[in-house]
Amino acid sequence: MCHGAGFNVLILTRMEMVQESSGAIQSSRQRRAAHTEIDRLPALDGIRAVAIALVLIGHILYAFGPFRNGGTLVGEAGVTIFFVLSGFLVTRVMLLDEARTGRLRLGRFYCRRALRIFPAFYAFLIVSFVLSVFGAFEQPDRKTWLASALYFRNLAGDGWNTGHLWSLSLEEQFYFFWPAIFLLLAGRKRRLLFIGAAVVAATAGRLAWIASLSSPLPPFAIQQIHYTPQFRMDTFLIGAAFAIANWEWTRALEPRFIIPFLAIWFETAPFHRATLPVDTAVTAFGVGALILWLVQNPQLRPAFHLSRPAVVYLGAISYSLYLWQQLFLGPHLRWWSLAAVAVCAICSYHLIERPFLRWKERLQVPPPATRIPSDPGIFSSRHPALSVTGHLPMAT
């Protein structure tokens, strides 16, 4: 009997070992499946297509005097979508890396960001410099070149040709501090509390600064609110909050009501002293809710239309489009400008971005995980957004 009991114990032990091994294999498969689902939601590239279309329309309108202010607001709407989407996506990338490996690998993260952003960016700056030297465009001063190259064009510099780099500078400043804070503040609750406090602080700062201005608001007030990091970082962070929280209430949203509200808000809120302090935060919250709704409802018609191949391709080349359109639109607008923008963007995407993206993807596959995520369901259909990244950023 003792021998039989020992044999039974041995069989049970081996069965438990097999089950544990199967569970580990299944968890490994879940991690690999989550990894292979990266970039599998084309609708996010569709959102980029909408954003870059707004920027292009805005800069075309800017060329016509009576429509200049409206064009500026339309372009700003596109940039805001880029900002919120970048905050959402980059945070999902960090969450996925943390879930797979047990920690965020900052070195790998920044290497991938550099390969994604820098090549096309500095290629644009070099070509712009050469063209300005040969007199094709007015040559910016040294301060403007330096501010552009070092990503503080939102704080210094003049001129149209590099003026759009304010948004990429602000985005790069977000990438500089957010991953470190994400790493320090472990856990969903701490990160959301930090974001909430940051949004409140930014709103209070905007309110206090606007209260100190004369009435009516001077023309530089809107630019100050939209361009400076102390007043604008909460736009990215609100996108990050939707990525971290993955709220279920967004699943039942009605975009047909939210989109008209945002359209009206975009065009009116910046011009009123009462609404300007909350302008960017309200916009970011609405855009973030729509992004998460789209991620949670990929089977619905909006996702289908945003996933059409032509729309997805437009979103994929949106970073290059954003870089090069500045040399041909606005005050440079001609009948052939859109064709020139398309040619430059397509060449930039296929000859510069794509080769470096292949290098970037080599850094995407993580080493074998050292631990099983504490919440295996994090890769399940209950958390669909975690496996969604897409191309980053505005470079998104």
CB neighbour list of residue 290: distance below 8 Å, 6 or more residues apart: 253, 255, 258, 259
Is 82 a member of any domain?
Answer: yes
Identify the pLDDT of residue 393: 42
- Where does the pLDDT of residue 338 fall: very low under 50, low under 70, confident under 90, or very high at 90 and above? very high
Instruction: Indicate the length of the chain as a whole number.
Output: 396
> How many Cα atoms occupy the beta-carbon half-sphere of 23 within 13 Å?
10
Residue 282 has pLDDT above 60, yes or no: yes
Q: Provide the residue range defining the domain that includes 312.
A: 42-387
Distance in angstroms between the alpha carbons of the first and the last residue of the chain: 69
Q: Are 28 and 99 in contact (CB under 8 A)?
A: no
CA distance 310 to 302: 15
Determine contact, residues 81/287, Cβ cutoff 8 Å: yes
Give domain status of residue 28, yes or no.
no
User: Does residue 70 fall inside a structural domain?
Assistant: yes
90 in any annotated domain: yes
Q: What CA–CA distance (Å, rounded) separates 299 from 309? A: 16
> Stretch 279-299: mean pLDDT, rounded?
95
- The number of beta carbons lying within 10 Å of the beta carbon of residue 215 is 7
* Rounded Cα–Cα distance for residues 52 and 83 (Å): 12
pLDDT (0 to 100) of residue 74: 93
**In the prediction, which pLDDT does 70 show?**
87
pLDDT surpasses 70 at 387: no
pLDDT at position 68, please? 87
Q: Does residue 34 lie within any of the structural domains? A: no
The tokens describing 231, both together, are 């007043």
Q: What angle do CA 201, 205, 210 make, to 5 degrees?
A: 150
Q: What is the mean pLDDT of the chain?
A: 84
pLDDT in tens, 41-59: 789 999 999 999 999 999 9
Residue 210, in any domain of the structure: yes
Distance CA 186, CA 66 (A): 50
* DSSP letter for each residue of 274-335: TTGGGHHHHHHHHHHHHHHHHHH-TTSHHHHHHTSHHHHHHHHTHHHHHHHHTTTSGGG--T
- pLDDT, position 65: 83
Number of domains in the chain: 1
For 136-180, the pLDDT digits (tens) are 888 889 999 999 999 999 999 999 999 999 999 999 999 999 999
Q: Find all residues with CB under 8 Å of 99, minimum gap 6, and list them.
A: 31, 34, 373, 378, 379, 386
Instruction: Report if residue 27 sits inside a domain.
Output: no
**Token output for 286:** 């609405």
Cα gap 389→209, rounded to integer Å: 36
Q: Does some domain include residue 1?
A: no
The whole-model pTM stands at 0.84
**Is the model's pLDDT at 102 over the cut of 50?**
yes
* pLDDT tens track for 181-230: 999 998 999 999 999 999 999 999 999 999 988 777 787 788 888 999 99
The residue type of 212 is S
**266 — pLDDT class (breaks 50, 70, 90):** confident
pLDDT of residue 388 exceeding 70, the answer is: no
Token digits of residue 131: 């063209």
Distance CA 148, CA 164 (A): 10
Distance CA 179, CA 123 (A): 26
pLDDT in tens, 222-258: 888 899 999 999 999 999 999 999 999 999 999 999 9
State percent of the chain over pLDDT 90: 66
